[in-house]
Amino acid sequence: MPYVQQPVGELRLQTPRPMNTSWTVPRNATEYSPACVGFNQTKGASEACLTLNVVRPASIALHSSLPVAVWIHGGGYTSGSSSEKQYNLSFIVDQSVQMGTPIVAVSLNYRLHCWGFMWSNEMKEAGVGNLGLRDQRLALHWIKENIAAFGGDPAQVTIWGESAGANSVGTHLVAYGGRDDGIFRAAISESGAPSVYQRYPTPDDWQPYYDGIVNASGCSSATDTLACLRTIPTDTLHSIFDNTSIVPEHSISGLSGAKFIPVIDDDFIEGSGTVQLQEGKFVKVPYLIGANADEGTAFAVTGVNTDAEFRELVKDWGLDNVTTDILEALYPNIPQIGIPAIMDEKPPSGYGRQYKRVAAFQGDVNIHGPRRFASQAWSSRNVSVYSYRFDAVSPGNGPAAGSYAGATHGSEMPYVFHNGDGVWYDFNKTTMESIPDSYSHLSTVMSRMSDVYRAEGIKYIGDHLASSFGE
């Protein structure tokens, strides 16, 4: 179902606009809409993609007033869709019915990649930053206004996401200076947080990439380059956006390349999430925030063999020498205690001799440190906060399957969605079919629901790196 005017034509690269039309006859909303166009994502995708999906128990009356769970998908703000089969909300809604506590579930699309997260001086002046996040925000307002018609309670909305979706949830907690618009009463972040330990990209950081897009589009002589970009055919503009020689990909730890993350636009995002948490400028609602034990295997670069190479990787976060010295000491190259634990002692050939050290550090700085920092912020303000760690290693992520991913980033998802049959995970279907009953039980529990090593490292990252990325 559309929740805003579609961002096409003159509305491309504009803040989302509320619906301005209505209809008097029923409209068919039984099929998923196209995904939003993203990086290398065109099949089944469209610019006219700002829709949401509502899944409700068939047995409940329309006048019911059930709790509402709103799912925000991940994908690094560059890809993904609410229509992906792994995010099928039917399984989790069915579990809620079996528990005797039925819910209504909602998922939504938002603009991605350059369509939703491009930035420049022109965009700042026009007030069109953080478009994908603004899409999400307007969807939440739509839900508050309309969910009662589907048997949902607008006063019992929980926002929930994973990875970039979890960071999105965190951003809504600090948006507009932490203003409470009454559009949700609780929040869940799986492997993401309100604060991100990397520098927010400035308009000047993005300007070379924006200028490259403008030049490639033939808009360089236009008085209003944004207006010109709105006239370029979708396929043409998409090929320009996807051209990494024009918009180079940003590495997870490096300083160069285009960052597709929230930006400080002095409106939707007034300042650093870490600073706002320190100052108590966040929506005071109960928060469930957690992470997976081996998050770092999803982010770790391979081929790091020496202390000097590890040091360079740490410094690439933009850290000073003193901070880098401390982190080197807190993350020693001792393979027996790095991650993943399933990788016995030294990494296999090809990973790099310091892979487990790299994986430990990058998992902590990306996920575990921000999780700890947010948990402390909630606790310090006497707001309920709950934290978890998922450490179950699925058969497809273990050595028997030729993998050393462990309990990596995103590996909890089939269990959270009670997707034990491996729907969508076609690459792993045989493995999923052979999962022991214990995994099925874990899926049922999770869909309803301390390491000593690295403790000091996570504490240091949580306590000290916040100031490094507070600008």
Tell me: pLDDT of 249 over 90: no
Interatomic CA distance for residues 308 and 466, integer angstroms: 25
pLDDT score recorded for residue 409: 94
CA Rg value for the chain: 22
The answer to which of 119-123, 176-180, 319-323 has the lowest mean pLDDT is 319-323
Mean residue pLDDT across the chain: 89
Residue closest to 169 by CA, chosen among 371, 390, 391: 371
Dihedral pair phi/psi, residue 426, rounded to 5°: -60, -30
Identify the three-state secondary structure at position 282: coil
pLDDT score recorded for residue 255: 58
Q: What is the per-residue pLDDT across 252-302, written as a single tens digit (0 to 9) for each?
A: 655 568 999 999 999 999 999 999 999 999 999 999 999 999 999 999 999
Write down the H helix ranges in 258-333.
273-279, 307-315, 321-330
User: At 162, is the pLDDT very low, low, confident or very high (cuts 50, 70, 90)?
Assistant: very high
pLDDT score recorded for residue 464: 60
Among 381-385, 438-442, 460-464, the range of highest mean pLDDT: 381-385
pLDDT score recorded for residue 403: 82
Give the total residue count for the chain: 471
Q: Which residues are catalytic?
A: 163, 295, 418
Interatomic CA distance for residues 74 and 290, integer angstroms: 15
Identify the three-state secondary structure at position 101: coil
> 464 or 314: whose pLDDT is higher?
314
Interatomic CA distance for residues 415 and 423, integer angstroms: 12
The pair of three-digit structure tokens given for residue 471, joined into one six-digit string: 């600008």
pLDDT score recorded for residue 183: 98
Within 10 Å of residue 336's Cβ, how many Cβ atoms? 10
Write down the H helix ranges in 147-241.
164-178, 203-216, 225-229, 234-241
pLDDT score recorded for residue 241: 97
Tell me: pLDDT of 446 over 80: no
pLDDT, average across residues 241-247: 96
Q: Identify the helix (H) or strand (E) that includes residue 455.
A: helix 455-460
Tell me: pLDDT of 389 over 80: yes
Tell me: pLDDT of 431 over 90: no
pLDDT, average across residues 13-28: 91
pLDDT, average across residues 174-203: 94
pLDDT score recorded for residue 15: 98
> 461 or 116: whose pLDDT is higher?
116
The answer to which of 41-45, 241-245, 408-412, 448-452 has the lowest mean pLDDT is 448-452
pLDDT score recorded for residue 177: 98
Task: Spell out a b/e string for 54-77, using b for 16 or more CB atoms within 10 Å of the CB, else e.
Answer: bbbbeebeeebbbbbbbbbbbbbb
For residue 386, what is the DSSP state? Answer: E
Task: Output the pTM of the full model.
Answer: 0.91
Tell me: pLDDT of 247 over 70: yes
CA distances to 32, 102, 157, 171 from 135, rounded to whole Å, are 18, 27, 17, 13
Q: What is the per-residue pLDDT across 341-374, written as a single tens digit (0 to 9) for each?
A: 888 777 888 899 999 999 999 999 999 999 999 9
> 456 or 416: whose pLDDT is higher?
416
pLDDT score recorded for residue 467: 53
| Domains with residue ranges and CATH for the chain | 9-20+27-201+260-285 (3.40.50.1820), 295-468 (no CATH)
Residue closest to 159 by CA, chosen among 197, 192, 115, 116: 192
pLDDT score recorded for residue 429: 47
pLDDT score recorded for residue 27: 86
User: At 425, is the pLDDT very low, low, confident or very high (cuts 50, 70, 90)?
Assistant: very low
pLDDT score recorded for residue 422: 54
Among 77-91, 125-139, 288-302, 304-318, the range of highest mean pLDDT: 125-139
Tell me: pLDDT of 426 over 50: no
pLDDT score recorded for residue 43: 81
The pair of three-digit structure tokens given for residue 279, joined into one six-digit string: 């100052």
Q: What is the per-residue pLDDT across 334-348, written as a single tens digit (0 to 9) for each?
A: 988 889 988 877 788
User: What percent helix, strand, coil does the chain show, rounded to 5?
Assistant: 40, 10, 50
pLDDT, average across residues 20-29: 87
pLDDT score recorded for residue 456: 61
Q: What is the per-residue pLDDT across 93-128, written as a single tens digit (0 to 9) for each?
A: 999 999 899 999 999 999 999 999 999 999 999 999
Tell me: pLDDT of 463 over 80: no
Interatomic CA distance for residues 356 and 453, integer angstroms: 13
